[in-house]
Every structure is written in C-alpha cells, then in structure tokens.
C-alpha cells in the first residue's frame, strides 16, 4: 500500500515528458529470498536413464527468488535446483503467486538449473508427452515452496540499483557432439548411423571436430542497495551441469556451489537479509564440462563441480567490481504459449518400436537403449497434435532475458544475443516446462542423441519458431 501511494505521488509530480509510457515511475526496488525444495530421503533421484532411490542429501535444493519493481511493473525470477519442471508446476505456481502477491503470471519466470542429482518435478515415470498433468505430492510441495519464496522476496523489497555485466569463461564449456573418423560411428538405438556422436569418449583417436560452437559468456544482472551491499545476482552460463556426486546423493550440482561461493566472496555469507545468488542455465543442450581433446584425470565426488563453481564465482565477482549501476530501469514482460507440434512418428518407426518391444523382455534395473527408445516412441506417437510451448521475455532496463522450455543448443543462444533488439540479451533454458532437446534444423540433420525421437520430441523447425516468437516479443517490450 505504502508503495502504491508513493507511486501515485511520484507520477503526479512527474507529469510531462518524464511521464512517458516508458519512463520508470519510481526508483527501482528489489528483494530476494531462497526457499528450500529438498525432497525426502527415499524418493527417486533423476538424471540417468532410470530413476534410483535417494539415500543422502549432500546439499539442499532451493528455489532462489528475485522480485523487481519499477513503481509500475513487478517481475519475479525464480531458479529451481531441479533437472526440469513440468509446465503444470509452473502454471500452478504462477497462479498461486498471482493470487498471493498480485504479480501477474506473465511477469513470473520459473526455470530449472538441470542438476542431475535432484528429485523429479516432471511427473510420474515413465512419462507421456503432455502439456497438462495432475501434480504429484512433490510437485504440489514445490508449487507452495516457489510461491512462498516469491512472497518472501516481496516482503524484502527495498530501494535498489541494477547493473548488467558479462564475463567470458570459455575453459569450462565444451561441445559434446562430435564428427568422428569415417567408419567409426557406432549404430544408434534405431540401428541407423548418425553423422555426429554425443560424448564420443574423451581422448578418443576417432575425434575429428566438434559439431557446433560453445557460448563462453556468463551474463548477469546484479541488484544492490543504493551504493551499498548486494541484494542478488541473477546469472546464466551455458553449461549442461558438472556432475560427479556421491551414489544416491541429492545435490544442487555446481549451480548451488556457485551461489554459496559468490555469497562467501561478497560478505562472508552473514548479512541479513541474506544476499541471494542465482545461476540459471543458459543454452547448453549440446555443451558439457568434458574436454574431449585433452581429458583430465578422474576426481573424487564433488571436486570438479566445486572447482568450476568457485572459478565462475570468482570471475563474476571480479566483473561485479567493474559494474556500472543505475537506480532506474524500465521493467516489462511478455509470455506466450506456442502451438508447436510434437514430433511426428511415422509408420516405419512405430513398427520398429512395436517389434523391438515384442522381442526384448525388460530386465529389472538394466537399461536397454533400443527398448527404452521403443517405449518413448510409442508414447510420443500417442501425443496430442499440439503442445502449449511456453516462451517468455523479461525486460529489465536495456537488458532482456528470453526463455525456452527445452534443452536448447548453444548456437540458438548465440543467435538470440546477436539478433535481439535489446543490447544486453541472453537466453535461459528449461523455463516453464520441459519439452526435451531442441536442436537447430542443422543439428537435427546431423543426428545423434539430442535428436533421437524420445530425446528430441518437437517438430524439427521448433527452434526457428521459438526464435521468431522471442524476437517478436523482445521487440514488443523494447
């Protein structure tokens, strides 16, 4: 209420040219909070081909929440330590947030980091291909925890300055799709030969060259109390995950360790209200942390993810010291659901799936790739024609964050950075849903794991349609 009166007063005072549609009505304010989303021990850990039971929590999982307010528009950004979130979780969380805080659903961005050592927020296993599902117990818990986190961030809103920055950290990101020497490509689960291989074997003599670029840039938005300490840093890096956890462990992977490391670097981690760091996933569908040309020796659990997390945190911290701060920023948001089609399964492929299933008896706990893909193909063939593919644009001053609900390729993120009408733009993947990998049409033609039906579940032109929609929406908020 207080801020509404302040806003009205300010807009009265600021009548005239400054009261243009676009001008912020008040100094920016920001608040941030973390909300625990750690599951019970005993639930399923996801990330591999088959889920397995969690026996230990190495580090807690969080929904990290940031709320921004320019006196006219309020935005909420939420990053969850999860492999992915089903669209229905995002829909329900946004409903609850809107009812409790008044922040319109279209202004709320909810994404997952892609930690592979989390519980599933994607629904029951094996999963079908649906845009709407009924929420299970963990998903309902998650909806409440996300909404509470946003509410807590609203409670902590205070005057703020904003800065945008980037820092290039090429040394932790590698393309994981490779061309191999003639005659060395193994057949895929469908009995066909792809043009590229995912994770071809580090140091393999058969490597020719990677099939695509990496995006080495960490983009970040920082919020601080005027001239004072940090409130939050929202960052995005295009790294799939690091991995290397203990067996049966829950962990937020390098994303969580980065947040802790940046907090320590900033203030020893003891300020009240606490500084909230966030690391969203950029566009890393074809990127991982394995240097295939010059492999590193194996490390004990958590060592590599800690190494990456602390290195990225210290480089972002260095870039923060050089940031230029502003006390006003126009906020804006656009949200759309695209009727992109699920992938078409032709008669031959379905026949292959039916025959493979008929002749392969399942063995408990054993992964048989052709059998696993046969099941996925059969379920994909039953999907209703259109998805409700969520895409979103948030504008914060001259910065712009676009989102996709897919494991998106690095070249898509690079294209958005180049073509966006706003100068400081980047993409966040795995937002508002999980629709599998989204290769560009060029990568789709090359084949490989990320393009197989059951891994890649959308029509081949999906990335082009998503890009067109994002650029249109960015133009609208400019």
Under the rule (CB under 5 A), what is the footprint of Zn ion? 407
Least Å distance, CB 88 to Zn ion, is 20
Least distance CB 288 / Zn ion (angstroms): 9
Cβ-based nearer residue to Zn ion, 81 or 407: 407
Nearest approach, Cβ of residue 293 and Zn ion (Å) = 22
Cα 90 to Cα 85, 96, 111, 152, 277, distances in angstroms: 7, 10, 9, 18, 21
| Chain residue at closest Cβ approach to Zn ion | 407
CB of residue 407 to Zn ion, shortest distance in Å:
5
Query: What contacts 258, CB < 8 A, 6 or more positions away?
Result: 235, 277, 279, 308, 309, 310, 312, 313
Of 224 and 376, which CB lies nearer to Zn ion in the complex structure? 376
Q: Which residue's CB is nearer to Zn ion, number 430 or number 446?
A: 430
| Contact (CB, 8 A) for 458 and 333 | no
For residue 461, the minimal CB distance to Zn ion (Å) is 21
CB closer to Zn ion out of 407 and 415: 407
397 HSE (CA, 13 A, CB side): 20
| In the complex, minimum distance from the CB of residue 95 to Zn ion, in angstroms, rounded to a whole number | 28
Least distance between Zn ion and beta carbon 62 (Å): 20
Query: 423: how many CB neighbours lie within 10 A of its CB?
Result: 10
How near is the Cβ of 196 to Zn ion at its closest, in Å?
16
Please identify, using beta-carbon distances, which residue of 217 and 283 lies nearer to Zn ion.
283
Counts for the chain of helices (H) and strands (E), in that order: 10, 24
* Residue closer to Zn ion (CB basis): 194 or 407: 407
Closer residue to Zn ion, CB minimum distance, 352 or 434: 434
- Kindly state the tokens that stand for 365: 């706990």
Kindly tell me which of 70 and 407 has the beta carbon lying closer to Zn ion: 407
Residue 70 · residue 24 · CB < 8 Å:
yes
Which tokens belong to 129? 């291909």
Angle at 157 between CA 153 and CA 163, to 5 degrees: 95
* Residue with smaller CB distance to Zn ion, 275 or 409: 409
Name every residue whose Cβ is closer than 8 Å to that of residue 151 and which is 6 or more positions away in sequence. 97, 100, 101
Which residues, in sequence order, are CB contacts of 52 under 8 Å at separation 6+?
Answer: 44, 45, 248
Q: Considering the complex, what minimum distance in angstroms separates the CB of residue 112 from Zn ion?
A: 10
Alpha-carbon dihedral 184, 186, 188, 192, rounded to 10 degrees:
60
How far apart (Å, rounded) are the C-alpha atoms in residues 232 and 33? 9
| CA gap 147, 195 in Å, rounded | 45
Whole-angstrom CA distances from 116 to 40, 55, 98 are: 16, 15, 30
């Amino acid at each position: 209420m207080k801020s509404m009166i302040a806003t009205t007063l300010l807009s009265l005072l600021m009548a005239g040219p400054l009261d243009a549609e676009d001008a912020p009505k008040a100094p920016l304010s920001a608040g941030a909070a973390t909300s625990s989303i750690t599951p019970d021990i005993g639930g399923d850990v996801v990330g591999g081909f088959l889920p397995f039971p969690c026996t230990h929590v190495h580090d807690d999982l969080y929904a990290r929440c940031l709320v921004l307010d320019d006196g006219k528009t309020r935005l909420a950004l939420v990053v969850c330590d999860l492999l992915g979130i089903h669209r229905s979780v995002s829909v329900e969380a946004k409903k609850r947030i809107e009812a409790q805080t008044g922040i319109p659903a279209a202004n709320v961005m909810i994404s997952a980091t892609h930690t592979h050592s989390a519980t599933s927020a994607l629904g029951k296993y094996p999963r079908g291909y649906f845009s709407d599902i009924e929420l299970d117990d963990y998903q309902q818990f998650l909806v409440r925890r996300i909404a509470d986190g946003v509410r807590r961030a609203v409670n902590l809103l205070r005057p703020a300055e904003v800065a945008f920055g980037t820092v290039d950290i090429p040394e932790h990101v590698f393309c994981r799709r490779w061309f191999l020497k003639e005659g060395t490509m193994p057949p895929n689960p469908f009995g066909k030969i792809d043009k590229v291989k995912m994770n071809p074997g580090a140091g393999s003599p058969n490597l020719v060259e990677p099939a695509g670029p990496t995006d080495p840039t960490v983009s970040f938005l920082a919020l601080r109390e005027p001239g004072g300490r940090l409130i939050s840093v929202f960052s995005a890096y295009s790294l799939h995950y690091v991995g290397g956890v203990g067996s049966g462990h829950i962990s937020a992977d390098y994303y969580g360790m980065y947040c802790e490391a940046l907090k320590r670097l900033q203030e020893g981690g003891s300020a009240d209200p606490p500084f909230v760091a966030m690391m969203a996933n950029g566009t890393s569908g074809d990127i991982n942390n394995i240097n295939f040309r010059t492999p590193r020796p194996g490390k004990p659990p958590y060592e590599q993810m800690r190494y990456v997390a602390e290195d990225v945190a210290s480089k972002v911290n260095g870039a923060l010291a050089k940031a230029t701060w502003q006390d006003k920023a126009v906020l804006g948001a656009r949200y759309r659901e695209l009727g992109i089609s699920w992938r078409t399964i032709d008669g031959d492929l379905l026949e292959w799936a039916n025959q493979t299933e008929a002749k392969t008896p399942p063995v408990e706990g054993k992964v048989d790739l052709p059998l696993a893909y046969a099941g996925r193909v059969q379920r994909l063939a039953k999907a209703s024609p259109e998805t409700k593919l969520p895409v979103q644009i948030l504008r914060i001053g001259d910065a712009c964050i676009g989102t996709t609900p897919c494991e998106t390729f690095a070249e898509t993120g690079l294209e958005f950075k180049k073509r966006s009408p706003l100068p400081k733009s980047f993409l966040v993947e795995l937002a508002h849903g999980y629709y599998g990998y989204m290769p560009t049409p060029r990568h789709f033609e090359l084949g490989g794991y990320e393009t197989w039906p059951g891994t890649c579940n959308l029509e081949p032109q999906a990335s082009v349609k998503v890009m067109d929609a994002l650029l249109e929406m960015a133009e609208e908020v400019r």
